[in-house]
Chains A and B, each alone.
Chain A
Amino acid sequence: MRIVEEIDRWLLACLLVAILLVGVVGTSFASDIGDDPVQLAQFSGRAAEESADFDDFDDEYADSENLVADPLKYWNMTWFYLNDGLYHGFFKPVAKGYAWAVPPQPRIWVRNFFTNMLFPVRFINNILTGKLDAAYMETSKFVVNTSIGFLGFGDVTAGRPRNWEPERPTADGMGQTLGKAGMGHGIYLVWPFVGPSSIRESVGWVSDAYMDPLTYGDLSFIEFGAIRVYKNVNTLSLQLKGNEYEALTEGAIDKYAAVRDAYIRYRAKKVEE
Chain B
Amino acid sequence: MMKVVDMFVKRLFSSLILVCLLAVGASAALADETPMDRVKEGTDKLIELLSQPEMQDPAKHDAAIAELRKEAEKYIDFRLVTMYSVGKPWLKMSPQMQSDLTEAFIQLLERSYLKRIPAYGGQKVEYKKEMVSGKKAKVLTEIIDKDKKIIVEFRLKIVQEQWMIYDVVAEGVSLVANYRSQFAEVLRDGTPEELLKLIRDRVEKIDKGEMDEDQSKS
Contacts and interface: CB of A to CB of B under 8 A. Distances in A.
Interface of A: 3-4, 7-8, 11, 14-15, 18-19, 22-23, 25-26, 29-30, 33, 42-43, 46-47, 50-51, 53-54, 57-58, 60-61, 63-65, 67, 158, 241-242, 247-248, 250-254, 257-258, 260-262, 265-266, 268-270, 272
Given A242-B116, A266-B173, A26 B26 contact: yes
B172 interface: yes
Contacts of B181: 64-65, 67, 257-258, 260-261
A7 B11 contact: yes
A29 B30 contact: yes
Given A65-B184, A253-B186, A269-B171, A22 B23 contact: yes
B87 A64 contact: yes
A272 B172 CA distance: 10
Interface residues of A: mostly helix, strand, loop or mixed?
helix
A96 B133 CA distance: 47
A15 B176 contact: no
Contacts of A60: 84
24 contacts: A4-B7, A11-B11, A15-B18, A42-B79, A53-B135, A54-B88, A58-B84, A61-B84, A65-B184, A242-B119, A250-B112, A251-B111, A251-B112, A251-B206, A252-B182, A253-B199, A254-B185, A254-B186, A258-B178, A258-B179, A261-B178, A262-B178, A266-B172, A272-B172
Contact of B173 (A29, A61, A262): A262
B111 to A, nearest CB: 7
Interface residues on B, range: 35 or more
Contacts, number: 134
A254 B11 CA distance: 59
Interface string B193-213: 001001100100010000000
Interface string B149-180: 00000000000110000000001111011111
Given A4-B7, A11-B12, A242-B119, A61 B22 contact: no
Given A8-B11, A22-B19, A61-B84, A261 B173 contact: yes
A224 to B, nearest CB: 27
A23 B26 CA distance: 8
Given A8-B11, A26-B30, A265 B91 contact: no
Contacts of B179: 258
A253 B182 contact: yes
A251 B113 CA distance: 7
B15 interface: yes
